[in-house]
Amino acid sequence: MAATEPRGSGSGHRGSFFHARLMRGLRGKLTYANVMASAAVFIALSGYAYAALRVPPNSVGTRQLKAGSVTTGKISNGAITAVKVAEHSLTGTDIDLNALGTVPMAANASQAVNSDTVGGHAASCPQGTILIRGLCFDSESNPEAPNLEAAAEDCAAKGGWLPTPMQLYSTLGTLKLGNGLNASQHQYTDVLYSVPPTNNSYTTIVVNGSGLPTEQPAGDPSAYYCVYPLVR
């Protein structure tokens, strides 16, 4: 038999009637299995959404990072160390040179006005001399002195000294020590010694144009070159 409407023809009564029939139909179809299945789907969807928001550890690599995505603000202060910088990758344009200050080993470099001065003194040979192996020699030989003492005093008066035999020998080919043919053309050195048993006579060494060192009495005449320090 078809169901009859309850009494009353108002729309409110009809709505309540149909709602009641719908709920009775749903209650008839709802079972424990249906409820648990629906709950499982809800939980699964919620877990997927949570997993999408929470990134698992060690799961993000270079492929997941977009170009330019790591900005300066994302890098902690002090995070970039020397071992993270490729060797020879930084140039002068990458470094603020003014912020480096003075290099400790070059602290005195600022005192050198130019390469021609050292400590305020001229780093060059005096006029009329020539630089040979770090020493300044007279560019021309001095005339013969009557003896070794006179030659030594003249060099000292000019701020120099007589060269050693080796120093004088090192100038061979640059300075004219003699023509190499006449043994009497030679130059004094600073050597002075006495030969026993005659202790009252002194001997020196002279070098001729062939570079040959020869003994000579210190009282005999000879030409000579004076030597001066490079820095005056």
Higher pLDDT, 24 or 189: 189
Residue 204 pLDDT: 95
Cα–Cα distance, 86 to 55 (Å, whole number):
30
Dump pLDDT digits (tens) for 110-152. Answer: 454 444 555 555 568 989 999 998 899 999 999 999 999 999 9
Q: Where are the beta strands (DSSP E) in the chain?
A: 117-118, 121-122, 129-132, 135-138, 142-145, 186-188, 193-195, 198-208, 213-217, 222-224, 227-228
Which pLDDT band, with edges at 50, 70 and 90, does 30 fall under?
Answer: low
Superfamily of domain 122-228: Mannose-Binding Protein A, subunit A (3.10.100.10)
For residue 148, the tally of other CB atoms under 10 A from its CB is: 27
Residue 114 pLDDT: 44
Q: Count, in order, helices (H) and strands (E) of the chain.
A: 4, 11
Higher pLDDT, 53 or 38: 38
Query: What residue segments make up the domains of the chain, in order of their start?
Result: 13-49, 122-228
Largest alpha-carbon pair distance within the chain? 167
Dump pLDDT digits (tens) for 57-109. Answer: 777 777 777 777 778 777 888 778 877 778 767 776 777 666 666 655 555 54
Region 14-23: what's the mean pLDDT?
Answer: 61
Cα–Cα distance, 208 to 132 (Å, whole number):
18
